[in-house]
Amino acid sequence: KASVMDGDNVDYEEMEDSLEKSKAKSALEALLEERKKLPIYPYRDELLKAVDEHQVLVIVGETGSGKTTQIPQYLHEAGYTKRGMIACTQPRRVAAMSVAARVSQEMGVKLGHEVGYSIRFEDCTSEKTIVKYMTDGMLLREFLGEPDLASYSVVMVDEAHERTLSTDILFGLVKDISRFRPDLKLLISSATLDAEKFSDYFDSAPIFKIPGRRYPVEINFTKAPEADYLDAAIVTSLQIHVTQPPGDILVFLTGQEEIETAEEILKHRTRGLGTKIAELMICPIYANLPTELQAKIFEPTPEGARKVVLATNIAETSLTIDGIKYVIDPGFCKMKSYNPRTGMESLLITPISKASAMQRAGRSGRTGPGKCFRLYTAYNFHNDLDDNTVPEIQRTNLANVVLMLKSLGIHDLLHFDFMDPPPAEALLKALELLFALSALNKLGELTKVGRRMAEFPLDPMLSKMIVASEKYTCSEDIISIAAMLSVGNSIFYRPKDKQVHADNARLNFHTGNVGDHIALLKVYNSWKETNYSTQWCYENYIQVRSMKRARDIRDQLAGLLERVEIELTSNSSDVDGIKKSITSGFFPHSARLQKNGSYRTVKHPQTVHIHPSSGLAQVLPRWVVYHELVLTTKEYMRQITELKPDWLVEIAPHYYQLKDVEDSVSKKMPRGEGRA
Ligand code: ADP
Ligand code: MG
């Protein structure tokens, strides 16, 4: 074949092609150089030898040493993928996505081909996939279809120190299958040094330590407690920017709202700094940040500018951002807390643990000496912070996990091999709820309803709502509602300069005081009628991105309905049928109006309020059922629908008795009377 430059017959296409190829090649080479600089690289062969010799290995190494991105590649290079896939679990969806993207670049393949990720409602893998990053929750679900994980040759439970509920359950399950699958390699990797606990649990598995490179970090405390940590964090960022040598800043905040507020204030205040001060690039990162924007935090900071990353806990150990020299740690995170007595769960802004504070500080000393500014006093640190974060299994609702374990045929939950057992009270509460939802029978065995519910990757109350829709012939409507609820609170937006317009647009969907669930259904159906128009979303102050996500989720729920053989039927005109389906799942979340305008939950009485964003906030129906509780200044119910009290007895006769729903009549009677 003639060479490219042969005479007149210059084949430009081929030339461009080879040019593209060489560009890609040099990019790959550059990435390979970077890979070789990671702290883990000198230990590559030793690590592979250890994996070869032991079935279970505990791996410990500082954040940023290369555990997550490199180990699966080393194993692939060593041939492990010939026998099956390599799974690497992450507690956070963003981490799974971002790391998979990075590794696919390093391997020079398209994301979703050889390297992919799997997170709830989003499967970015294919037949070609050999390295699969996934949330710990998704691997847990894979046990349902493949109890011995036969498609995998290696399972790496990464970020084990996070001790999420799913990771803790995975520990028990993978430990169990490793006994009858001697060919399965198990890696437990963690960023903290308390690896002995993991080793003990996995029958004294050897510990492989990757020595980190760590530079000294100067720790600064405030002299007095800060009244407003968000403001203090913003002021500190600006002070660093104006007075300190180059280096990026990482600020730990508790959630999306806080990050958005901080972003806005920072943008506003940097505008006032004048042109003499270098540019400050503001990069937010949190779980629901749209994928396109997530990559921004990894882009190198332009010469002369400075980057400030506003992150949730995700940047504590899950994501490594190069170039951070300053860390601002207000000392808080959002944490789930659960009251097993009432069965109520809420997200609370809570002080972090000493271990977390240490991890956060460490993020500034990865590439050179760093500085950490703690927005709390040294006294607070030593006296008020717990040593370690309590594992999630000990502070959460277990209904979901219990349903899953029951579907896996694990009945004796009290004797499940937990690394740290959950409180017995919480286990009983979960069994009680599943029984009330008819997922379990009196003997604690899975029922047909329960088996169907377990197919849905949703909270049991949501799954029950869906399964119950068969009876009320409104499954189409209910999965739309479930999908909209699963998207979270990002459907409507409210621009500062157009709040009145936005509120009016929103109220349109609430005509007739239909309640928040039906309003969500109306939003979905109206959008569908416009053939999923983006313009329509703009006109109605609705986030098109959230709607597309809802449509995706809905499609998947429709597929699952088919799997459990529930027909797709719609009954939009029968609003009561839809409300009864909702009540069938959410009856434990019912509340009754009090004289002073607050509400009282029916079981385990507690005072709650309608969230101001609800369409029923001004209506105050006598009886409501709510989707969730959020605690801000008060305990608020979010996403509310009105119900008729006799539905409670009709739908959940084993849970509610007439006396629970009789309007204050029983109170006037002498004790004992009026009970069934
Ligand atoms: P560990 O798991 O030990 O904390 P990682 O394997 O996550 O370490 O990170 C190794 C390196 O890869 C870090 O320098 C990090 O900056 C880089 N890296 C990881 N993910 C990405 C990404 N999405 N984009 C760019 N760089 C990344
Ligand atoms: Mg990692």
**pLDDT at residue 631, rounded to an integer:** 80
Atom of ligand 1 nearest to the CA of 158: 2
If you measure from the C-alpha of residue 240 to the centroid of ligand 1, how many angstroms do you get, rounded to a whole number?
Answer: 25
pTM for the whole structure: 0.91
Nearest-angstrom CA–CA distance, 228 and 349? 13
Atom of ligand 1 nearest to the CA of 319: 7
If you measure from the C-alpha of residue 70 to the centroid of ligand 2, how many angstroms do you get, rounded to a whole number?
Answer: 9
If you measure from the C-alpha of residue 320 to the centroid of ligand 2, how many angstroms do you get, rounded to a whole number?
Answer: 8
Atom of ligand 1 nearest to the CA of 62: 3
**pLDDT at residue 9, rounded to an integer:** 59
Residues 136, 120: contact at Cβ < 8 Å? Answer: no
Q: Torsions phi, psi of 664, nearest 5? A: 45, 15
Residues 134, 90: contact at Cβ < 8 Å? Answer: yes
If you measure from the C-alpha of residue 289 to the centroid of ligand 2, how many angstroms do you get, rounded to a whole number?
Answer: 20
Nearest-angstrom CA–CA distance, 319 and 63? 8
If you measure from the C-alpha of residue 73 to the centroid of ligand 1, how many angstroms do you get, rounded to a whole number?
Answer: 13
Nearest-angstrom CA–CA distance, 603 and 592? 10
Residues of the chain with pLDDT under 70: 1-10, 12, 193, 663-676
Give the helix, strand, coil percentages of the chain, each rounded to 5: 45, 20, 35
**pLDDT at residue 665, rounded to an integer:** 41
The DSSP annotation for 409-421 comes to T---GGGS--SSP
Nearest CA to ligand 1 atom 21: 102
Nearest CA to ligand 1 atom 10: 66
Ligand 1 pocket, residues with Cβ under 6 angstroms: 38, 61, 63-70, 98-99, 101-102, 298, 320, 322
Atom of ligand 1 nearest to the CA of 61: 3
If you measure from the C-alpha of residue 320 to the centroid of ligand 1, how many angstroms do you get, rounded to a whole number?
Answer: 5
Closest CA to 201 of 191, 212, 186: 186
Q: Strand 115-119 vs strand 217-221: parallel, antiparallel, or unpaired?
A: unpaired
Tokens at 174, concatenated: 């993978």
**pLDDT at residue 416, rounded to an integer:** 94
Helix, strand or coil, per DSSP, at residue 628: strand
Tokens at 427, concatenated: 């286990």
Q: What Å distances lie between residue 396 and 255, 328, 368, CA to CA?
A: 19, 29, 39
For residue 92, the ligand closest to its alpha carbon is 2
Nearest CA to ligand 1 atom 5: 66
Atom of ligand 1 nearest to the CA of 40: 3
**pLDDT at residue 666, rounded to an integer:** 42
If you measure from the C-alpha of residue 516 to the centroid of ligand 1, how many angstroms do you get, rounded to a whole number?
Answer: 42
Tokens at 201, concatenated: 């649990």
Q: 381's torsion region: left (phi>0), alpha (psi -120 to 50) or beta?
A: alpha
Residues 481, 520: contact at Cβ < 8 Å? Answer: yes
Q: Strand 248-252 vs strand 324-329: parallel, antiparallel, or unpaired?
A: parallel
**pLDDT at residue 660, rounded to an integer:** 84
Q: What is the ipTM of this complex?
A: 0.98
Separation of first and last alpha carbons in the chain: 94
